[in-house]
Amino acid sequence: MTTLQTGTKLTYEEYLETPETMVRCEVVDGEVIVAGPSLYHQTISGNINEPVRAFVRRNRLGRVFYAPVDVIVRRDPLRVRQPDLLFVSNERASILGERIEGGPDLVVEIIPTSNTRAEIESRLADYASLNVRECWLVYPQLHAVEVLRLEGGEWHRAYIRGAGESVESAVLPGLELQITEIFEDA
């Protein structure tokens, strides 16, 4: 049985044999990267998850998941992402199984200050390759959210919102989250 530790190299088959864990980790070109979120990070994640999940359930639009849940980007070399939150519409439900094998409609990434621009770009490239329709980049240090939409295979910034403003989703029409509520108690 393989354990997930930073620096471990895995094939897809080895990854399938790893025990299920609540430890948040991603696999980039076969290399395991373990990252434990802070309490601050988890508070923000919960503040986004609760209203998004309630909206999706109330309108019977699909399913909402939060980390750690695997999104398989590719099998060789293995690449697995674990966005902080994701939405899969009823139309894309076929990607759901033991893991998610395909592109969610929406992913949310809470970006810690330790992430480099290259790491963010790598995640965005992976999500674009899966045809994720919308990505929210949440910047805790700025109390801001950047919304990107995939058009013609490339990410385009829809907007950046900060304090006193709200975030809306083209993927979930009618959903609106206040920025102050996203960062409340964080």
Give residue 40's pLDDT. 83
Residue ranges per structural domain of the chain:
37-182
| Peptide bond between residue 37 and the one before it cis (omega within 30 degrees of 0) | no
Give residue 49's pLDDT. 97
Tell me what the pLDDT averaged over the chain comes to: 88
Give residue 16's pLDDT. 66
**Which CATH class for the 37-182 domain?**
alpha beta
Give residue 134's pLDDT. 98
CA geometry: angle 122, 127, 131, nearest 5 deg: 145
- Nearest alpha carbon to residue 123 among 155, 165, 93: 155
140 or 113, higher pLDDT: 140
**What is the residue type of 15?**
Y
Contacts of 99 (CB under 8 A, 6+ apart): 69, 70, 71, 72, 80
- Nearest alpha carbon to residue 184 among 85, 84, 44, 66: 44
pLDDT higher than threshold 50 for residue 151: yes
Q: How confident is residue 2, by pLDDT bands cut at 50, 70 and 90?
A: very low
pTM greater than the 0.85 cutoff: no
- Is residue 88 within 8 Å of residue 65, measured between CB atoms? yes
- Is residue 51 within 8 Å of residue 141, measured between CB atoms? no
Torsion sign over Cα 129, 116, 46, 169:
negative
Give residue 143's pLDDT. 96
Tell me the pLDDT tens digit for each residue of 23-35: 555 566 667 666 6
- Span of 9-18, 70-79, 141-150, 174-183 with lowest mean pLDDT: 9-18
